[in-house]
Amino acid sequence: MRYRTVVTAAIVLAAARAEAQYPRQSERLAMVDLIAARGVHDAATLAAMRSVPRHEFVPPNYRAQAYGDHPLPIGHGQTISQPYIVAYMTEILRPRPGMRVLEVGTGSGYQAAVLGELGAEVYTVEIFEALATSADQRLERLGHETVTVRHADGNHGWPEFAPFDAIIVTAAGGHIPPALVEQLNPGGRMVIPVGSVWGVQNLILVEKDLTGDVRTRNLLPVRFVPMLSELR
């Protein structure tokens, strides 16, 4: 009995210490387990999602819901994307250490942090100055040194650091800016979510082959494929 009490106390203490060292780790792990169960299998992506503290990227009044699998408002009509979509887009992008990645639409900086965690050199552009400033400060505080934030119009890409091995556009309009297609490296991939953040989000994958030819793929996230067959 005494032995059991000691072991239980040790476990509780260890958990408390882990919680202090890695706040909300258990919620994060549960979130990633859910994402994996829904069809995202890239181990590196899942590992990155396990280490980036999403609650740090969410406004204080929404922190309690930071690990729910849904988008949350971050101001200026922008949102921090649903974690599953972040993971799915990251997996499609196939980022690897040393790759140069351009992100258009920094938002809170969460997607850039995940890409940075994977070892990519991330250049991220945000049109709303307040969001760009706060994301820059947040990423610096959390130690994401490979991420560079700039307040600018994403339509122009970031010519000074082009070409990019991968481009991710988190705020899609009715067109894909020609500058982005131009700044994509041959062999590179660009992913763009199209649709409503509160409804469907189809992903458009733009691939530029080694000869510079461009092709697109319209993807339905894997999570929703089983549901579609139910509707038939």
Partner 1 sequence: MVAVGFVSAATLAYEILLVRIFAIEHFHHFAYMAIGVAMLGFGASGTLLALLGRFQRESAELWLTLSTGLTCLALVASPALVHQIPLDPTQLPWDPYQWVRLAGVYVLLALPFFTGALVILLALTQERGRPGTVYGVSFAGSGLGAALALGVLWFFLPERALAVPALLAALGAVAVAAARGVGGTGGTGWQKGFLLLSALAAALAFARPPWSLHVTPYKGLAQVEAYPDAQRVAERTNPVGWVVAVDAPAFRFAPGLSLAFSRDFPTATALFVDGGLVGAAANWASDSAALAILDWLPTAAPYAVREPRRVLIIGAAGGTGVWNAITHGAIRVTALEINPALVELADTRTRDLQRNGVALQWVVGDARSYVARSRDEFDVITLAPTGGPGTSAAGVHSLNQDFLNTVEAYTQYLERLSDNGVLSVTRWIAIPPRENVRVILTAVEALRRTAGDVLERGLVVLRSWGTATVMVKPSGFSRSEIQHLREWAHERLFDLDWYPGVESAAAQFNYLAEPTLYNTAAAAVSGKEDVQAFTSTYPFDVAPVHDARPYPHHFLRLSSLPALVRAGAGEWLPFAEWGPIALVATLVQSVVLATLLLLLPVAIRARQKQYRPPVRILGYFAAIGLAYLTAEIAAIQQLGLLLGHPVYAVAMVLTVFLILSGAGSIWSDRREPATGRPTLFLLALTFAVYAVLLLAIVHAFQGAPLFARGAVAALALAPPAFLMGIPFPLGLRQLTGENRVHVAWAWAANGFASVVTAPLAALVALGAGSQVLFLVAAAAYGAAAVLGRISTS
Interface residue with partner 1, options 3, 43, 60, 230 (CB under 8 A) = 230
Nearest alpha-carbon partner for 89 in 74, 72, 76, 104: 104
198 interacts with partner 1 by CB under 8 A = yes
Among 39, 59, 73, 119, binds partner 1 (CB under 8 A): 73
214 near partner 1, judged by CB under 8 A = yes
Q: Are 124 and 99 in contact (CB under 8 A)?
A: no
Nearer to partner 1 (CB atom), residue 113 or residue 131: 131
Binding segment for partner 1 (CB under 8 A), chosen from 3-11, 52-60, 106-114, 221-229, is 221-229
Q: Tell me, yes or no, if 81 is annotated catalytic.
A: yes
Residue 174 sits in the site that holds partner 1 (CB under 8 A) = yes
What's the CA gap between 161 and 173, in Å, rounded? 23
Determine if 46 is a binding residue for partner 1 (CB under 8 A): no
- Amino acid making up residue 112: A
Quick check: 167 and 188 in contact, CB under 8 A?
yes
Q: Using CA atoms, how far apart are residues 94 and 30, in angstroms rounded to an integer?
A: 23
3-state SS assignment for residue 190: strand
Tell me the sheet residues that pair with 122. 101, 147
Return the range that interacts with partner 1 (CB under 8 A); candidates 39-47, 73-81, 97-105, 112-120. 73-81
> Can you read off the two tokens belonging to residue 58?
């969410």
The residue with tokens 């994402």 is: 35
Task: By CB under 8 A, name the one of 128, 134, 147, 191 that touches partner 1.
Answer: 128
By CB under 8 A, tell whether 162 contacts partner 1: no
Contact 78, 107 (CB under 8 A): yes
In angstroms, what is the minimal distance from the CB of 171 to partner 1?
9
Task: Give the catalytic positions in this structure.
Answer: 81
* Contact residues for partner 1, defined by CB under 8 A: 65, 68-70, 73, 75-77, 127-129, 153, 155, 172-178, 181-182, 194-202, 204, 206, 214-221, 223-224, 227-228, 230-232
